[in-house]
Amino acid sequence: MTEARLRTEGVTLAYEKRVVAENLDVRIADGSFTVIVGPNACGKSTLLKSLARVLKPQAGAVLLDGQAIASYPSKLVAKQLGMLPQSPIVPGGIVVEELVARGRFAHQRLLRQWSPEDEQAVTDAMRLTEVSDLADRFVDELSGGQRQRVWLAMALAQQTPILLLDEPTTFLDLSHQFEVLDLCAELHEQGRTVVAVLHDLNHAGRYATELIVMKDGRVVAQGAPAEVMTAPLVEDVFAMPCRVIDDPETGTPMVVPADRHRRRSSRTTEKAHA
């Protein structure tokens, strides 16, 4: 088995004294579209932050190319990892094109300032995310969905081989959710490693080549969606009785929740055994 470029070894993650996840050993398969799923507060976004070097592990290490990611210069990491955070803070008084252009920061050097390559990268990123017509608009005047696509454009402008996305479909209507995930799938097909935190299990089942399932700060399953996404696992992790069937469009696993009477009965049984 080839060694993954990005992985964790015995990682414990915490916010001050509150431990969120312990002893995580996670491999991000090179060239995969890896999706991290799990219930709220299980550690999904925290794991992604550690992979992006946003959050320093309390114990263990995140490794990039076999070396602790904390040991690399920031610009070098920024050339390898692009990150779309969950709730990015919009700088005041900045227009869309300027924000997207910030994705080229890692490519700037003392003797190499803005170049035609930078200009092309920004133009391509805005076209792919369909925000070109917003280029001169102030970011803080945009809708939530428009902002989300602008932040994704900034991440794409970095042109990194690894792209980390924390809930990239947040604020997007259904059509734009699929457009963003289609774009992620195309980037993956072009050779990028894509890692995304998603809430929708059916999106995960349709787009992921690799699933990481988390519960209570632990990884409880990892592998291909067809192998991992089973009705017993979904019920155990999400406390939701369901059936898992083949998606009629793609053949990928699709979760169909049990009707409300069976779900209510299941909750009643759980409470009786508690």
- DSSP letter, residue 138: B
Q: Which one has a higher pLDDT value, 1 or 146?
A: 146
Q: In this structure, are 235 and 225 located in the same domain?
A: no
Prediction pTM value: 0.88
Q: From CA 197, how far away is CA 192, in angstroms rounded?
A: 16
- Flag whether 131 is in a domain: yes
**Between the CA of residue 3 and those of 49, 59, 194, what are the distances in Å?**
21, 21, 17
Render pLDDT for 224-248 as a digit per residue (tens, 0 to 9): 999 999 999 999 999 999 999 999 9
Strands (E), the chain: 6-15, 18-24, 27-28, 33-37, 59-64, 67-68, 81-84, 162-166, 193-197, 210-215, 218-223, 242-246, 253-257
- Flag whether 1 is in a domain: no
Q: In this structure, are 45 and 79 located in the same domain?
A: yes
Q: In this structure, are 202 and 246 located in the same domain?
A: no
Percent of all residues in the chain with a pLDDT value above 90, rounded to a whole number: 72
Q: In this structure, are 147 and 70 located in the same domain?
A: yes
Render pLDDT for 92-105 as a digit per residue (tens, 0 to 9): 889 999 999 998 88
Reduced to 3 states (helix: H, G, I; strand: E, B; else coil), residue 113 is coil
- Residue 1's pLDDT is 45
Render pLDDT for 35-47 as a digit per residue (tens, 0 to 9): 999 999 999 999 9
**Structure confidence at residue 271 as a pLDDT band (50, 70, 90):** low
150 closest CA partner among 202, 101, 109, 191: 101
Q: In this structure, are 152 and 93 located in the same domain?
A: yes
**Structure confidence at residue 274 as a pLDDT band (50, 70, 90):** low
Please answer whether residues 210 and 34 qualify as being in contact, where contact means their C-beta atoms are separated by less than 8 angstroms: yes
- Flag whether 135 is in a domain: yes
What CATH number is given to the structural domain containing 194? Answer: 3.40.50.300
- Which residues constitute the domain of residue 249? 230-274
Q: From CA 262, how far away is CA 256, in angstroms rounded?
A: 13
State the average pLDDT over residues 76-99: 88
Q: Examine the pLDDT at 154 and tell me if it is beyond 80.
A: yes
Q: In this structure, are 172 and 235 located in the same domain?
A: no
Residue with tokens 């799923």: 37
Residue with tokens 């929708």: 200
Q: 116: which residues sit within 8 A by CB, 6+ positions away?
A: none
- Number of domains into which the chain is organized: 2
- Flag whether 234 is in a domain: yes
Q: In this structure, are 105 and 17 located in the same domain?
A: yes
Q: Examine the pLDDT at 121 and tell me if it is beyond 90.
A: yes
- Flag whether 134 is in a domain: yes
Phi, psi of 207 (to 5 degrees): -100, -30
Structure tokens at 214: 């988390």
Q: In this structure, are 148 and 125 located in the same domain?
A: yes
Render pLDDT for 206-228 as a digit per residue (tens, 0 to 9): 999 999 999 999 999 999 999 99
Q: Which one has a higher pLDDT value, 178 or 107?
A: 178
